[in-house]
Structure 1
């Protein structure tokens, strides 16, 4: 489906609508999406993200990578994460999507929003929506999985919201070890802090990642940032 304007322009229209109609931004984004022929902004974002960005980003990832995929809300990071998982499946590699944010029905809706081809390609995707999600759970569930799989975790800041789970810093270390031992690619979606201002910098950076609890982000081999329809990859995070 062709959009009436580029994604950044549509977002600006939503912001203006939010101000003039005194609507929450998410409601204004949904209204713009409906005008464009989609059920909601999440569905528009899912469809838009499948236009080649997932394939381009996937080509830059290597076995053993721990990857950060970060953005403010409504930038399409979940859709891009799902796109990466489906791209891995298309290339004959296993993939898994773990989420504390969405139900299975919502994940399936995002896949269908990307078109019938995307949903069909995702038929082998392991989807896990348990409230028990942690680095330990991921390692246990994938203990018998083949190597070189792609794992998406949605999202980083929710991993230690329960007191019976290890601290976030410890879980990042464990995910790094899992990626290296299994030669998997582990992609952690992450939120960007609210004080990031796109009017002063076109992309957020590693210092803008919201960390309610401490974690060593230098353990990530690569970081990918989304803003207004564009993607920027930062390699060598572990080296500073």
Structure 2
């Protein structure tokens, strides 16, 4: 199944259509679904749900405690959504999940969970969300001293970790997160921006050479990479 855009973008299109045409959201969703080749939104959603469960379980199964993962994509390709879905899948697997974001507000994150059909209340205390302006490697490490092995931590995003002058250099923070992930047996995922030059490269997916690095870091510290483009995921182990 190949949709013209990620589901959350299709939902946004439906909301826009609902306002523009003054029709109910359900009718607008069905209109969008028909353009994608489905008779109704419910049929589209059922197909996507089955596919999504398989994709996130496969991705989680390829990550091991101690991994430092780079998750990258150009804007509006769903990298934040993928990070949140990975956390939700981990929680369903009996683990804990932490989402640290310097990019989004609490309301933004709750809206994105809604867009992937997740009620935050169902995640209970296994989901921890932090939108503090103090987020950086030392701050995160200090908070995670007692979490169980296998916990999934998603940080949104790499290029903002050293935006405060008093924070350590980005290269130092990545090295500290790698050491901590290995020592504590955690899976740490860093969302990253992709340089706009990728758009002219002709490649089907970004790769590690396309990561935007305003400040130099050693990308070989990452054990796995996951790059998104046009609804498809390219996963690699860093050699």
Gapped regions of structure 1 (runs ≥ 5): 12-25, 39-46
Mapping for residues 137-156 of structure 1, pairs under 5 Å: 137-156=139-158
Give how far 1:143 is off.
1.5
CA shift, 1:6, in A, is: 4.2
Kindly provide the CA deviation profile for residues 44-70 of structure 1, in whole angstroms up to 9, marking residues without a partner as x. Answer: xxx869823222211110010000000
Task: Point out the structure with max Rg over C-alpha.
Answer: 2
Q: Which residue of 2 aligns with 1:34?
A: 16
User: Secondary structure of 1:64's match?
Assistant: coil
Number of equivalences: 208
Q: Distance in 1 between matches of 2:198 and 2:142?
A: 36
Partners of 1:193 and 1:54 lie apart in 2 by 25
C-alpha contact 2:5 2:230 (8 A) present in aligned 1: no
Q: Which runs of 4+ in 1 moved over 6 A?
A: 47-50
Q: Superposition pairs for residues 1-240 of structure 1, below 5 Å?
A: 6-7=2-3, 9-10=4-5, 30-31=12-13, 34-35=16-17, 37=29, 51-52=52-53, 53-116=55-118, 119-123=120-124, 124-197=126-199, 200-235=202-237, 237=238, 239=239
Quote the Cα distance in structure 2 between the aligned partners of 1:165 and 1:77.
Answer: 25
Aligned Cα root-mean-square deviation (Å): 2.5
Asked if the contact 1:193–1:208 (Cα under 8 Å) also holds between the matched residues in 2, the reply is yes
TM, length-normalised to structure 1: 0.79
